[in-house]
Structure 1
Amino acid sequence: MSSVVVVGGGISGLAAAYALATGPNPPRITVLEGSPRLGGKLAGAELEGIPVDLGAESVLARRPEAVDLIKAIGLGDDLVHPATTSAGLWIGDRIRAIPPTVMGVPVDPAATTDVLGEAAAEEVAHEAELPSPALQEDVAIGRFVAERMGKAVTDKLIDPLLGGVYAGRAEEISLAAAVPDLYAKLRTAPSLLVATAELREAGQRRAGQPVFAGIVGGVNRLISGLEKDLTARGVQIRRQLAVRRITRTADGYELEAGPVPAPTLLSADGVIVAVPAAPAARMLAELVPAASAELATIEYASMAIVTLAVRKQDWPEGATGSGFLVPSVEGRTIKASTYSHAKWQWSSDAGGELAVLRASVGRLGEEYVLQRSDEELVALATADLQRAVGLQAPVVGSLVSRWGGGLPQYAVGHLDRVDRLEAAVAAEPGLAVCGAAYRGVGIAACVASSGKAATRVQAHLDALATMAP
């Protein structure tokens, strides 16, 4: 039987292993995870007896990959959608409604007045009078939009809505990678406003289809569900075994893992590398130096999630919706807050008399914020919530989850970089890469990336089988 080693036990690695294990002629599969636990950026815990997600808390439901995987491993009955998704923007002295946008780029100039102010909203309205964008190459979305609509749009809309997804700087994020539909429109659209209006209209035709989905008890259950399923299928999962180097052998690959003085050597016919860019670059340095060099240029941002529990009776009546986002220019500690008890019915039910909420802290270049103690971060987040929504009551419980190097940054030219590194990897038969570093940071995008990697490796194994005597 042929063998495949999957390097990395996060959602990407486990999804790749699942795709291989459930396909035709499944190989012998080993998953290697360097840390003591599986899941990567998906993790869960209990706060005052209430299940909580410590990382991602939802999946994109408008693309099928993550939802299909949740159903496939037997969690379909626990698939749920948010009770509300009406987030606001904390600007100045209050939470304001988010105007219609495409990832922060306005659709209707008149609707932006409350957030941007009259003069800035007027500047947005004049964007249609500019020469057509006629984009021929990738640009930084924040800079591009600021040039056409004014800096206020980038600062107060794109920064919190899109920059928050990547914990990055809107002025540096690739338009082609982050909002590919808009990038495609801007090749031919007469203006940015026309492009966003067309995309918004297309989105409204899907009205009624939920954008996001979750799992009762937390999205982190996807990891335990995958582990159970894979183990039952005979997949070997080994924790605390970090891979340092992958080399070519006469009949496949050799992986060197574990401590340098006493390394563990594993051989395989195929390898899927499903770890962040920096460790992937190190382990591929000898095998695929061109891909390694490209991977080494991908930056990562660090952030933290502060999860709090308060009494429901103390929750301010005026704090409605699912939470709020915070533009960086506002100078607050927190970048966003989610009212989990309002967004997810299961969280409210599990909480009883307690309400759970989350606040995110830290972005690219703000690592100094994360050097504060857990106690300080809780105090700062609580103080911001007091100013934002009037939360006066004491916090009943708290958890701080730190995600060092958690989110890859999609800089201008990112997709070209990915094309180059994937082409270099493709020159090694039976080798593939997948994960958040490539073509999407969300869970659905990671699962899609994993499926493609598994298909590529399985095709190599099938080719080997036809050549066998």
Structure 2
Amino acid sequence: MRIAVVGGGISGLVAAYRLRQALGPEAELILLERAERLGGILHTAEMDGEPVDLGAEAFVGRRPEIPELMRELGIEDQLVYPAGKRPLIWSEGAGHRLPENTLMGIPAAPEALAGLVDSETLARIAGESERPLHWERGGDIAVGALVADRFGDQVVRRSVDPLLGGVYAGLADTIGVRAALPTLAVALDAGATSLTRAVRDALPPPSTTPVFGGIRDGYRVLLDALRAAADVKIQTTTAATRLARTPNGWQLDPVGAVDAVILATPAPVTAALLREIAPAAAELAAGIDLSSSAVVALALPRDTALPDNSGILVATGEPLRAKAFTLSSRKWPHLAERDVALVRASFGRFGDDAALSWPDADLITAAVEDLTAVTGVDIRPVRTLVQRWIGGLPQYAPGHTARIADLRSATADLGGVALAGAYLDGVGVPACAASGAAAARRIVDHLG
């Protein structure tokens, strides 16, 4: 058997690994990656010989995919958890404790947002259950539209936007309820009579399991382990240019004839490769927008008096250029042991990526000035790194889940072709890993 995986991010690497497990050593597995390195938006760089993640730096610890992968690959000793500190929200020129008992910033009760929004908004939240709620079962609207209608714009800009922006590099106005907050959609479909009631129904049960996990020496440890275990022939700086059906399988240029193909590529790349063999599917994939972002890593003197918080999220409308800061040395105990204090500044939201065109020096200056503003500390970095992610995250717009269902239907008869990636069922690392595993299962089932 000869199988190609297009895309060397976490989705593609997991797909290759699962194929190798299922098909054994005789299968010829080929992985194409158009960039110079594997990993996609997972990238571990070095600062003075120490690893620093410049893409995702954590995963949802309450999902099983990544811990299970690490155990399988024999790297479970690399699993680490945060210190348990909470972030702040910077709003109206001051830091506020991140609200508790909310679903992605949407409150179940007014006291959750006390101090973050004004008294009029708190009263509106308190009385929300007395207003009729109009929700179309099975429908979908933007998170921002729903929350603004029920609670007012302050809740959207000061509570919901900062959290959604950290996950999707987008805004509540452009992200759909059903894809981004599926448990909330289920509660609304079930007939919740108010948004506060729906949030209470959708909140996860109490758990002692850490919300997030990480990898001590960075995501490169997982990527390297997957690459070795998959035993796949890798061609970097090589883009797949055409996919066509043949009597015996598929023709993938520039690889040649293959028995099956997994497209673990961003939505626009997937659309281009599907255009000849499934034009309706290609149109659906092409309609998924992408957001760009940038990360500036700052190494500060170890004794810099940073707040004792895991990070600082910036509300929409603040006169700052950065959208968030991760106080990495406060968040992760293993990073607190280093000789420097590490901070990551994030820039860029969907529809507002002007800062990404700035020279590196300007991005660094903005990161330093904004971090100084939100901490009140004289920030003097000793070392810096800049990483840009152009088109790094798909946007889960209203109707996204229906679009993906239609996309799957439109590719259902493409025996030997499977899709994987962040645009399908979630942008987080566990969701991407799950999509790669699911694509591999589909190919194995096809091959019998």
Q: What TM-score results when the alignment is normalised by the length of structure 2?
A: 0.96
One-letter identity of the residue aligned with 2:410: A
1:416 aligned partner, one-letter code: A
Once residues 3 and 334 of structure 2 are traced to their aligned partners in structure 1, the CA distance between those partners, rounded to angstroms, is 38
In the TM superposition, residue 199 of structure 1 has moved relative to its aligned partner by 2.9
Residue 436 of structure 1, aligned match among 401, 422, 428: 422
Q: 1:262 maps to which residue? A: none
Task: State the match for 2:253 in structure 1.
Answer: 256
2:272 to 271, 274, 282: 282
1:272 aligns with: 262
TM-score for the superposition, normalised by structure 1: 0.92
**Is residue 200 of structure 2 the alignment partner of residue 197 of structure 1?**
yes
- 1:210-242 per-residue CA deviation (whole Å, 9 max, x = no partner) reads 1111111112321122112223xxx21121111
**Aligned 8 A contact 2:60 2:213 in 1:** yes
- 1:127 CA drift (Å): 1.0
Q: Secondary structure at the match of 1:131?
A: coil
Which position in structure 1 is the counterpart of 2:116?
Answer: 115
Structure 1 residues 336 and 74: CA distance shift in structure 2, 3 A: same
1:289-438 map, 5 Å:
289-316=279-306, 319-349=307-337, 351-352=338-339, 354-438=340-424
- CA contact under 8 A between 1:133 and 1:189: conserved in structure 2? no
**Counterpart in 2 of 1:178?**
180
CA displacement 1:355-376 (0-9 Å, x = unmatched): 1110100111122111111111
Give the Cα separation in 2 of the matches to 1:133 and 1:73.
49
Distance in 2, Cα, partners of 1:297 & 1:134: 25
**Structure 2 counterpart of 1:140, from 130, 139, 142:** 142
Q: Which amino acid aligns with 2:322?
A: I
C-alpha distance in structure 1 between counterparts of 2:135 and 2:170, whole Å? 26
The question of whether the paired residues in 2 share the 8 Å contact of 1:6 and 1:273 is answered with: yes
Gaps of 5+ in 1: 258-264, 463-469
Farther off after superposition, 22-31 or 7-16 = 22-31
Deviation at 1:92, TM superposition (A): 2.2
| Residue identity opposite 2:354 in structure 1 | Y
2:192 and 2:44 map into 1 onto residues whose CA distance is 44
Once residues 112 and 392 of structure 2 are traced to their aligned partners in structure 1, the CA distance between those partners, rounded to angstroms, is: 34
1:318-349 per-position Cα deviation (integer Å, ceiling 9, x unaligned) = x1110110012113111111111111122122
Q: Is the 8 A contact 1:59 1:67 kept in 2?
A: no
Name the aligned partner's letter for residue 116 of structure 1.
Answer: V
Q: CA deviation at 1:282?
A: 0.8
Q: Would the aligned equivalents of 1:30 and 1:237 in 2 still touch at CA under 8 Å?
A: yes
The answer to whether 1:230 aligns with 2:233 is no
SS in 2 for 1:114: coil
Which residue number corresponds to residue 242 of structure 1? 239
Q: Which moved more, 1:406-415 or 1:68-77?
A: 68-77
Give yes or no for contact 2:79–2:216 (8 Å, CA) kept in 1: yes
Deviations 1:280-331 (A, max 9, x none): 1111110111111011111001100010000121224xx1110110012113
Equivalent residue letter for 1:333: R
Deviation at 1:430, TM superposition (A): 0.9
**Deviation digits for residues 48-69 of structure 1 (CA, Å, limit 9, x no counterpart):** 3331001000111111112211
What letter corresponds to residue 335 of structure 1 in structure 2? K
CA offsets 1:53-103 (integer angstroms, 9 cap, x no match): 010001111111122112211210111111124011011232101112101
- Give the aligned partner of residue 19 of structure 1: 18
Which range is displaced more, 273-282 or 129-138?
Answer: 129-138
Matches within 5 A, 1:25-104: 27-100=27-100, 101-104=102-105
User: What amino acid is aligned across from residue 149 of structure 2 in structure 1?
Assistant: E
Contact 2:18 2:230 in 1 (8 A): no
**SS where residue 175 of structure 2 aligns?**
coil
**Residue identity in the other structure for 1:313:** D
Does structure 2 conserve the Cα–Cα contact (< 8 Å) formed by 1:52 and 1:218?
yes
- CA change 1:226–1:85 in 2 (3 A) is farther
- C-alpha contact 2:44 2:53 (8 A) present in aligned 1: yes
How many Å separate the matches in 2 of 1:402 and 1:85?
27
Q: Structure 2: how far apart are the matches of 1:418 and 1:48?
A: 43
**Aligned counterparts of 1:248 and 1:135: Cα–Cα separation in 2:** 41
Partner of 1:127: 128
Alpha-carbon distance in structure 2 between the residues aligned to 1:449 and 1:292 = 19
RMSD over aligned CA atoms reads: 1.3
Shift, 1:133, TM fit: 4.1
> Structure 1 counterpart of 2:275, which letter?
A
Instruction: For structure 2, list consecutive stretches of 5 or more residues without a partner in the other structure.
Output: none
Report if aligned partners of 1:166, 1:408 keep a CA contact under 8 Å in 2.
yes
Q: Higher mean Cα deviation, 273-282 or 105-114?
A: 105-114
